[in-house]
């Protein structure tokens, strides 16, 4: 009886150690392909590393989406719940971050958005625009008096006509994820320098290119 109990205890301990080692191996973020994208069997590897509360509503199991965590300075590409690509430094608005930003405030908006335009000839090298201010932002801004009813109707009618929001109202716009272009990498590493966008370096923005398309969800948290 004692020998059996000892054997079972040793077996359980060995399984715990094996499980711990396997989890650590799956979370190795150092393995990359030549284009800077982690293969699906390494970091993405079957590891649930996402707090369920951070997931977008109605997420499809294989949907590609992007999490931008301003506090941790991480840009993470997910397929459903699984990590596909992680970038470990970003800079954001010099004015901070808030769910509702004002035009000219240099603040980065918080919330859930979608990529609505891609500019490959941007002065920042590559620009993934997001649909700020979207319908939810405009509705909340109207409710608390940040925009007038006329501005609200203008935002909605502009979106209906062009598929992208205007940037000329009190909420501003032209927000997105972009590279540095010819900007100073040292400034990028040391300061939050943008006018409200999220910036990564030129190599990193190119590594995001295979994953982001028109309609890709982008969740910005701060």
**Is there a catalytic annotation at residue 89?**
no
- Rounded Cα distance between 205 and 210, Å, is 10
**Is there a catalytic annotation at residue 197?**
yes
Query: Which sequence positions are flagged as catalytic?
Result: 178, 197
């Amino acid at each position: 009886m004692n020998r059996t109990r000892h054997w079972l205890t040793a077996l359980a301990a060995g399984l715990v150690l094996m499980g711990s080692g396997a989890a650590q191996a799956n979370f190795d973020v150092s393995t990359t392909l030549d284009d800077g994208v982690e293969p699906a069997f390494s970091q993405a590897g079957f590891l649930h590393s996402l707090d369920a509360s951070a997931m977008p509503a109605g997420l499809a199991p294989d949907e590609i989406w992007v999490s931008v965590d301003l506090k941790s300075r991480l840009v993470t590409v997910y397929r459903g719940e699984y990590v596909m690509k992680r970038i470990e430094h970003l800079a954001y608005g010099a004015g901070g971050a808030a769910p509702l930003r004002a035009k000219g405030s240099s603040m980065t908006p918080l919330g859930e958005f979608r990529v609505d335009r891609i500019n490959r000839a941007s002065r920042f090298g590559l620009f993934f625009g997001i649909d700020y201010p979207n319908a939810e932002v405009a509705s909340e801004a109207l409710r608390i008096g940040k925009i007038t009813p006329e501005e609200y109707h203008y935002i909605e009618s502009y979106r209906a006509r062009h598929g992208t929001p205007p940037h000329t109202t009190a909420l501003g716009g032209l927000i997105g994820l972009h590279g540095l272009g010819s900007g100073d990498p040292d400034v990028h590493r040391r300061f939050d320098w943008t006018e409200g966008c999220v910036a990564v370096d030129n190599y990193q923005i190119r590594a995001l290119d295979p994953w982001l398309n028109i309609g890709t969800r982008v969740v910005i948290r701060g």
